């Protein structure tokens, strides 16, 4: 029987964004985000390494409620 257990995991996220007020309580916003996740699994016979790398872009209008 092969059982999996997490041996080593690591991840980080970097993001940058801007907000610009259009009128009072209404903002135009934009954000770019980079996320990296590394996960090593140890099974009975070997170590399986998985890497996930994602870039996200977000843009929209935000309403600020006071």
Q: Which residues contact 53 (CB under 8 A, 6 or more apart)?
A: 34, 35, 36, 37
Give CA–CA dist 3/47, Å, rounded: 12
Total domains, the chain: 1
The confidence score (pLDDT) of residue 2 equals: 44
pLDDT per residue as tens digits for the range 8-59: 788 999 999 999 999 988 999 999 999 999 888 777 777 778 888 999 999 9
Give CA–CA dist 17/32, Å, rounded: 6
- pTM value > 0.75: no
Give the gyration radius of the chain's Cα atoms.
Answer: 20
Cβ count within 10 A of residue 39: 15
Which residue range(s) make up the domain with 42?
Answer: 5-63
């Amino acid at each position: 029987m092969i059982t999996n257990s997490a041996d080593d995991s690591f991840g980080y996220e970097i993001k940058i964004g801007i907000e610009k007020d259009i009128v009072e309580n209404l903002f135009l916003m934009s954000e770019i985000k980079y996320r990296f996740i590394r996960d090593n699994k140890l099974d009975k016979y070997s170590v399986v390494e998985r890497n996930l790398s994602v870039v996200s872009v977000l843009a929209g209008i935000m309403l600020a409620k006071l």
